[in-house]
Amino acid sequence: MERNSSRDTTALEEPKDQASLEDSSSGPDSGQVHDSSRRKFLVNSGYVLGTLAVGGVISSLFGCAKDGEDNADSSAPADDNKEAAAPNYNRALMYFTQAQFRIVEAATERIFPEDESGPGAKKLGVAFFIDHQLAGDWGFNGRDYMNPPFFAGEKEQGYQGRLKRRELFDIGLRELDNYSQTTHGKGFAELEPDQQDAALKAFETEEVKLTTISAGSFFKMLRSATLEGVYSDPLYGGNLNMEGWRMRNYPGSQMSYLNIIEKDFTKIEPSSLQAHLASH
């Protein structure tokens, strides 16, 4: 529970600019609300007395580990113990080709574009998020029932295809690019934003007819994966620096809302699982 107060105030008061976004500054959970609520919780329940002592040990251990990306904070004011900012090692590809990655980056940015309220999917790292997801269980439909026989079902019976998500992405992205080549003579990533919107719309409404997969279902999957990348914990590679959460005043992972639950809307600086692990 011992915390570095200078880091706390930094995270609270520093407005996040472009640079801090790219460099993924550290975000120890912070704020008056949070602190006092946690203290109050300890008093209330007596639950964590044992954990408190242990928490101190664990937090000092994690405090020493300096190679994690989230410990690197190039935007924060100079700090006596500061080491050189580490690169974000999460920013590499596990599944997509570069060409696929560029299409996904462009398409997700149209689904969740940058505007005056904050960054879009591209800056938030959504394409990296989707890439990483496709490389694992989700991409292989590891926990879905994929046994034959396969029959085309009624709409109410849900997905009945034999293709896995990574295969659906391969086909969907290729078709999106084909469609762009046919209509504009350029790849999807090279189109103007409004042309990209029109292409995505043609998929969404199934104006585009594909033989192997449904263009509409592919778009739906792309849209929901985009929102997952915007709003999941930054540990998965999207929601960079919690900017997705910050834009909608979602506080992320907080231990307690006991002291605001009866109150009117209260703005709370977000906190991530990384901070939770490091602070206990």
Region 207-236 residues binding other proteins, contact defined as CB under 8 A: 223, 226-228, 230-233, 235-236
- Told to check if 54 binds other proteins by CB under 8 A, we report no
At 132, is the secondary structure helix, strand, or coil? Answer: helix
Closest to other proteins by CB, 76 vs 208, is 208
Q: 166: Cβ–Cβ under 8 A, 6 or more apart, which residues?
A: 95, 134, 139, 140
Residue 194 contacts other proteins per CB under 8 A: no
- Residue 56 binds other proteins, judged by CB under 8 A: no
Smaller CB separation from other proteins, 82 or 162: 162
Which CB atom, from 80 or from 262, has the smaller least distance to other proteins? 262
For position 263 contacting other proteins by CB under 8 A, the verdict is: yes
The first and second tokens of residue 160, run together, are 């009945």
Find the part of the chain contacting other proteins (CB under 8 A) among 36-44, 64-72, 85-93, 207-215: 36-44
The owner of tokens 């954990």 is 51
Task: Say whether residue 46 binds other proteins (CB under 8 A).
Answer: yes
Helix or strand or coil: residue 140?
coil
Q: Which long-range contacts (CB under 8 A, 24 or more apart) does 51-60 make?
A: 51/280, 52/1, 55/1, 55/279, 55/280, 56/1, 56/2, 58/280, 59/1, 59/2, 59/278, 59/279, 59/280
Tokens standing for residue 81 = 């113990």
Q: Binding to other proteins by residue 36, rule CB under 8 A?
A: no
Is residue 40 a contact partner of residue 256, using CB atoms and an 8 Å limit? yes
* Closer by beta carbon to other proteins, 74 or else 253: 253
Interface with other proteins, residue 252, by CB under 8 A = yes
3 binds other proteins (CB under 8 A): no
Residue 4: phi, psi to the nearest 5?
A: -80, 110
CB 183 within 8 A of CB 199: yes
Span from 14-22, 76-84, 155-163, 176-184 in contact with other proteins (CB under 8 A): 155-163
Which contacts of 151-159 are long-range, i.e. CB under 8 A and separated by 24 or more positions? Answer: 159/217
Residue 5 or 147: which CB sits closer to other proteins? 147
If binding is defined by CB under 8 A, does position 266 make contact with other proteins?
yes
Q: Is 262 in the site for other proteins (CB under 8 A)?
A: yes
Q: Restricting to residues 71-130, which ones interact with other proteins according to CB under 8 A?
A: 110-113, 115, 117, 120
Q: Which of 275, 273, 245 minimizes the C-alpha distance to 73?
A: 275
Contacting residues toward other proteins, per CB under 8 A = 37, 41, 44-47, 110-113, 115, 117, 120, 137-138, 141-147, 149, 151, 153-160, 197, 200, 204, 223, 226-228, 230-233, 235-236, 244-245, 247-258, 260-266, 273, 276-277, 280
